C-alpha cells in the first residue's frame, strides 16, 4: 500500500498538465499509458475489425445459397452422362417430329394425299383449299378447308385415313349436314411446318 502511495506522491489531479507529463508520478504514467493503449485498441477494433466482422457475417449469410448451388452443380456433374444421353434422345425425338412436318415443297403432295383419301373412301369432293399461313413462335400453321359429301361410313374412313397419314394433320371445326341420302361435311384440317426462318 505504501508503494502505491509513493507512486502517486505529489500528484494533484486538479493540476494535471500534459506539458509536464514527464514529471508525473510513475503510477499516473502507467495509468495514462494503459488508457492510451485501451483507446488505441478500441479505435482499431472499431475501424478495422468491425468492418471485417460485417464482411464476415455477409459471407456467412451467403453460405447456405452457395451450398445449395454446390449441391446442384455436384448433382449435375454426377449425372452429366445421363443428361447428355437424355439430350441426345430429346434431339432425336425432335428430329423425328420435324420429319413429320411437311416442308413448303411437300404441301402440294399433302393436298394430293388428302384428295386421294377422299376419293378412295368414295366421297364426292366439293373442294380442298389451302388457306393463308398463320405463324406461331416455332412453327407455321397451314389451314386447309375441306368440303366433301358421302355416307357416314365413308366420312369415318376418310377421317381415319387422315389420322394415319405420316405427316401431322389435325382436324378442327367440322360440320355435318344431311343432304338427301348423303351427308355433307365441312371440316378444317391443319398441318404444320417448322419455321426455319428464326
**CA–CA separation, 192 vs 190, rounded Å?**
7
Domain assignments of the chain as residue spans, ordered by start: 1-78, 102-194
> What are the cell numbers at 31?
495509468
DSSP 76-124: HHHTHHHHHHHHHHHHHHHHHHHHHSPPGGGHHHHHHHHHHHHHHTTPE
pLDDT digits (tens, 9 = 90+) for 85-142: 888 898 888 777 767 666 666 677 878 888 888 889 888 888 888 888 888 777 788 8
pLDDT digits (tens, 9 = 90+) for 166-175: 878 888 888 8
CA dihedral 82, 87, 93, 98 (to 10 degrees): -170
CA dihedral 75, 81, 83, 88 (to 10 degrees): 170
**CA–CA separation, 142 vs 151, rounded Å?**
27
pLDDT digits (tens, 9 = 90+) for 139-168: 788 898 999 999 889 988 998 998 888 878
Cβ–Cβ under 8 Å, residues 145 and 188: yes
Cβ neighbours for 130, distance < 8 A, ≥ 6 positions apart: 107, 111, 142, 143, 144
End-to-end CA distance of the chain: 96
Q: Looking at domain 102-194, what is its CATH homologous superfamily? A: Ribosomal protein S6/Translation elongation factor EF1B (3.30.70.60)
Q: Is the pLDDT of residue 6 over 70?
A: no
pLDDT of residue 100: 66
> What are the cell numbers at 172?
378442327
Give the containing element (helix H, strand E) for 52: helix 50-78
Q: Which of the 8 DSSP states describes residue 48?
A: I
Q: What is the 3-state secondary structure (H, E, C) of 11-45?
A: CCHHHCCHHHHHHCCHHHHHHHHHHHHHHHHHHHH
Amino acid at each position: 500500500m505504501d508503494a502505491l502511495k509513493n507512486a502517486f506522491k505529489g500528484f494533484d489531479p486538479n493540476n494535471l498538465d500534459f506539458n509536464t507529463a514527464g514529471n508525473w508520478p510513475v503510477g499516473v504514467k502507467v495509468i495514462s499509458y494503459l488508457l492510451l493503449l485501451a483507446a488505441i485498441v478500441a479505435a482499431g477494433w472499431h475501424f478495422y475489425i468491425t468492418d471485417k466482422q460485417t464482411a464476415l457475417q455477409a459471407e456467412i449469410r451467403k453460405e447456405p445459397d452457395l451450398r445449395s448451388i454446390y449441391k446442384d452443380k455436384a448433382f449435375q456433374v454426377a449425372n452429366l452422362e445421363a443428361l447428355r444421353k437424355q439430350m441426345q434422345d430429346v434431339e432425336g425425338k425432335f428430329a423425328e417430329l420435324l420429319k413429320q412436318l411437311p416442308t413448303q415443297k411437300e404441301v402440294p403432295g399433302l393436298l394430293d394425299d388428302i384428295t386421294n383419301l377422299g376419293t378412295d373412301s368414295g366421297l364426292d369432293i366439293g373442294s380442298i383449299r389451302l388457306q393463308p399461313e398463320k405463324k406461331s413462335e416455332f412453327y407455321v400453321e397451314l389451314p386447309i378447308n375441306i368440303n366433301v359429301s358421302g355416307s357416314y361410313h365413308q366420312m369415318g374412313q376418310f377421317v381415319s385415313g387422315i389420322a394415319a397419314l405420316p405427316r401431322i394433320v389435325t382436324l378442327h371445326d367440322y360440320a355435318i349436314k344431311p343432304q338427301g341420302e348423303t351427308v355433307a361435311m365441312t371440316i378444317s384440317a391443319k398441318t404444320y411446318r417448322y419455321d426455319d426462318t428464326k
